[in-house]
């Protein structure tokens, strides 16, 4: 996988599902994830001023993914579990529980569909598909590992991480 950076601008308006809970959110950074040269999605990180990427697990923010192609929700969920294991260990019971949650949270997507994860800064996570709520969970370990896929130093996409947090460094 590789990523490219897209310049962050402060004039972009946050999606409605973000504005409701994070009215001060601004675009921190954005980038594109590619796999074998094919664009998978464009990612945008939204957060209030003062966002500290080194403390992402304790900060409110939203991560928005705009897909470029069709992907099955179940495959997105399974890949998420595999990527979460890069960030930190967890047992099989948690893996099963979290996988079931993500299968509910992530429907099949097509080009231009958006999946968005909103973190409250205390471990609460809510997911949206094209602006509609799909699932929620209050679990700080899950939030840290899931959002760590993009924001933790151990991410498998360090270029995308740098693009997302660039303005916050």
* Residue pLDDT, tens place only, 3-53: 444 444 344 789 999 999 999 999 999 999 998 889 999 999 999 999 999
How are strands ordered across the β-sheet holding 124-129? 2-6, 26-35, 38-47, 60-67, 114-120, 124-129, 132-138
Question: pTM of the entire structure?
Answer: 0.90
| pLDDT band for position 120 (cuts 50, 70, 90) | very high
Structure confidence at residue 167 (pLDDT): 54
| pLDDT over 60 at 165, yes or no | yes
Report, as an integer, the average pLDDT of 49-78. 97
The CATH architecture to which 2-168 belongs is 3-Layer(bba) Sandwich (3.50)
């Amino acid at each position: 996988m590789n990523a490219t950076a897209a310049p962050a601008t402060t004039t972009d308006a946050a999606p409605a599902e973000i504005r409701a809970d994070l009215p001060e959110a601004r675009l921190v950074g954005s980038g594109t994830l590619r796999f074998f040269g094919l664009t998978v999605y464009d990612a945008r990180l939204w957060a209030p001023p003062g966002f500290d990427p080194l403390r992402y697990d304790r900060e409110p923010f939203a991560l928005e993914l705009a897909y470029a192609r069709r992907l099955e929700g179940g495959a997105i969920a399974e890949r998420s579990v595999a990527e979460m294991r890069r960030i930190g260990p967890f047992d099989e019971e948690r893996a099963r529980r979290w996988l079931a949650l993500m299968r509910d949270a992530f429907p099949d997507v097509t080009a231009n569909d958006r999946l968005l994860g909103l973190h409250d800064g205390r471990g609460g996570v809510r997911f949206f598909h094209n602006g509609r709520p799909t699932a929620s969970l209050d679990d700080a370990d899950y939030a840290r590992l899931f959002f760590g896929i993009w924001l933790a130093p151990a991410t498998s996409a360090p270029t995308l991480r740098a693009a997302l947090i660039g303005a916050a460094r």
